[in-house]
A and B are shown apart, each in its own frame.
Chain A
Amino acid sequence: MGLLRIRAWLAAILLILSAALATAQDAAPAIDAPSANDLHEFTRLLADDRIQNWLQEQANDAEAAAPQNIKSIREQLAEATDHVGARVADLSAAWASFSEAPEVIAQKWREQLTPDRRVRSLTFALIFLFFGAGLEWLSRQYTNPLRRRIEFSTFKRPRERLFAALTRTALAFVGLTMFAIGSIGAFSTIDWPPLLRTLILAALVGILIVRAINSLTKLFLAPRVPQLRLLPVGDKMARVTGQAIMLFSAMVVFAVSLIDVFDQLTTSDVKGGMAPETLSVAVLFAVLLLVAALLLIAICFGQARKHSDALSDRSMARWRIHLSLLSALVFVTWLFDVRALMWTVLSIGLAIPILKLLRAWTDMTFDQVIADFRAKAENATPPAPSEPADTTIEEDELVEPAPIVDPYETYRPIAQRLIRFAMFIALGLTLALIWNAGIFENSENPTVAQRLFSILIDSAAAVLIADLIWTWGKSSIDRRLAAYKPPEDGQAPGPEARMATLLPLLRVVLMVTLLSMVVMSVLSSMGVNIAPILAGASVMGIAIGFGAQSLVKDVVSGIFFLVDDAFRVGEYVEIDQLRGTVENISIRSLQIRHHRGAVHTLPFGELKSMTNYSRDWVIMKLEFRVPFDTDLQLVKKIVKKVGAELKANEHYGDSILDTLKSQGVRRMEEFNMVVGVKFMTRPGEQWLVRRDAYQKVRDAFEANGIRMAERNVKVEIAGDQPLTEEERKAVTAAAQDAITQPVAPGVVPDEP
Chain B
Amino acid sequence: MNQAKGPRSGLIVRTMRIWSGLFLLIFVTSHLLNLSLGVISLEAMDAARPYLSEIWASPMLGPLLLSALVIHFFLGLWAIYRRPTLRTNPQDLVQLLSGVIVVPLLATHAIGVASLKINGVTFDYAAATRFFWLAQPQIGLLQVVLLSVVWVHGCAGLFTWLRSKESMRNMLGWIYPIAVAVPVLALLGFAEAGRGVLVDAQAAQRASTQAYSAPTVTADAPRPAAPAVQRVAYQTVKTATSQVIWWSLALAALTFVARSVKLALQPTQVVLLKHGDAQPITTQSNLSILDSFKQNHQPHASLCEGRGRCGTCAVRIVSSEFPLPEPTALEMKTLRRIGAAEDVRLACQLTPSGGFLEVDPLYPADYSFKDRDFEQPDPVTAPAEAPA
A residues with CB within 8 A of B: 114, 116, 119-120, 122-124, 126-127, 130-131, 134-135, 137-138, 141-142, 145, 148-149, 151-153, 190, 224
Contact = CB atoms under 8 A, between A and B. Distances in A.
Nearest to A190: B195
Interface in B272-311: 297, 299
Given A122-B141, A123-B141, A127-B191, A116 B221 contact: yes
Given A120-B133, A123-B144, A130-B144, A152 B176 contact: no
A152 B144 contact: no
A134 B184 CA distance: 8
B366 A145 contact: yes
A137 B177 CA distance: 10
A148 B172 CA distance: 17
Contacts of A134: 180, 183-184
Nearest to B135: A116
B173 A142 contact: yes
B366 A130 contact: no
Nearest to B195: A190
Nearest to B299: A152
A145 B173 CA distance: 12
Nearest to A119: B137
Interface string B191-232: 100110010000000000000000000001100000000000
A468 to B, nearest CB: 41
B183 A152 contact: no
Contacts of A190: 195
Contacts of B366: 145, 148-149, 151-153
A141 B198 CA distance: 37
Contacts of B187: 127, 130-131
B180 A126 contact: no
A183 to B, nearest CB: 12
B88 interface: no
B365 interface: yes
Given A119-B137, A142-B173, A142-B176, A151 B184 contact: no
B255 interface: no
B141 A119 contact: yes
A145 B191 contact: no
Residues of B in contact with A, size category: 20 to 34
Nearest to A149: B366
B368 A145 contact: yes
B148 A126 contact: yes
A124 B195 CA distance: 10
Interface string B107-148: 000000000000000000000000001100110110011001
B140 A120 contact: yes
B370 interface: yes
Given A126-B145, A127-B191, A138 B140 contact: no
B134 to A, nearest CB: 8
Interface in B174-188: 176-177, 179-180, 183-184, 187-188
B364 interface: yes
Nearest to A130: B148
Contacts of B134: 116
A102 B381 CA distance: 75
A187 to B, nearest CB: 12
Contacts of A114: 220
Contacts of B173: 141-142
Contacts of A123: 137, 140-141, 144, 191, 194
Contacts of A124: 191
A145 B137 contact: no
Interface of B: 133-134, 137-138, 140-141, 144-145, 148, 172-173, 176-177, 179-180, 183-184, 187-188, 190-191, 194-195, 198, 220-221, 297, 299, 364-366, 368, 370
Contacts of A120: 133, 137, 140-141, 194, 198
A123 B364 CA distance: 44
Nearest to B142: A123
Chain A to chain B: the 7 pairs with minimum beta-carbon distance, closest first: A119-B137, A148-B366, A152-B365, A134-B180, A152-B366, A141-B176, A123-B141
Nearest to A148: B366
Contact of B137 (A116, A126, A137): A116
A478 B7 CA distance: 75
Q: Which of A119, A127, A148 has the most CB of B within 10 A?
A: A127
A141 B177 CA distance: 10
A137 B220 contact: no
Contacts of B141: 119-120, 122-123, 126
Given A142-B173, A145-B370, 19 more contacts: A114-B220, A116-B221, A119-B137, A119-B138, A119-B141, A120-B140, A122-B141, A123-B141, A126-B145, A127-B187, A130-B148, A130-B183, A131-B187, A134-B183, A135-B180, A137-B180, A151-B366, A152-B299, A224-B297
Nearest to B138: A119
A123 B195 CA distance: 12
A75 B144 CA distance: 59
A202 to B, nearest CB: 19
Contacts of B221: 116
A14 B292 CA distance: 96
Contacts of B184: 130-131, 134
Contacts of B133: 120
A137 B184 CA distance: 12
A142 B134 CA distance: 40
A138 B177 contact: yes
Contacts of A141: 172-173, 176
A307 to B, nearest CB: 16
Contacts of B299: 151-152
A131 B141 CA distance: 15
Contacts of B140: 119-120, 123
Contacts of A127: 144, 187-188, 190-191
28 contacts: A116-B137, A116-B221, A119-B137, A120-B133, A120-B137, A120-B141, A120-B198, A122-B141, A123-B191, A124-B191, A127-B188, A130-B144, A130-B183, A134-B180, A134-B183, A134-B184, A137-B180, A138-B180, A141-B172, A141-B173, A141-B176, A145-B368, A148-B365, A148-B366, A149-B366, A151-B299, A152-B364, A190-B195
Contacts of A138: 176-177, 179-180
A514 to B, nearest CB: 50
Nearest to B143: A123
B183 to A, nearest CB: 7
Nearest to B191: A127
A141 B169 CA distance: 13
> Most chain-B Cβ atoms within 10 A of its Cβ — which of A122, A130, A137?
A130
B158 to A, nearest CB: 12
Contacts of B180: 134-135, 137-138
Contacts of A151: 299, 366
A216 to B, nearest CB: 20
Contacts of A131: 184, 187
A127 B188 CA distance: 8
B177 A116 contact: no
A126 B148 CA distance: 9
Contacts of A116: 134, 137, 220-221
A142 B179 CA distance: 13
Contacts of B364: 152
A142 B368 CA distance: 13
A349 B37 CA distance: 57
Contacts of A152: 299, 364-366
A124 B133 CA distance: 11
Contacts of B220: 114, 116
A137 B180 CA distance: 8
Contacts of B176: 138, 141-142
A312 to B, nearest CB: 28
Contacts of B144: 123, 126-127, 130
B33 to A, nearest CB: 16
Contacts of A126: 141, 144-145, 148
Nearest to B364: A152
A131 B188 CA distance: 9
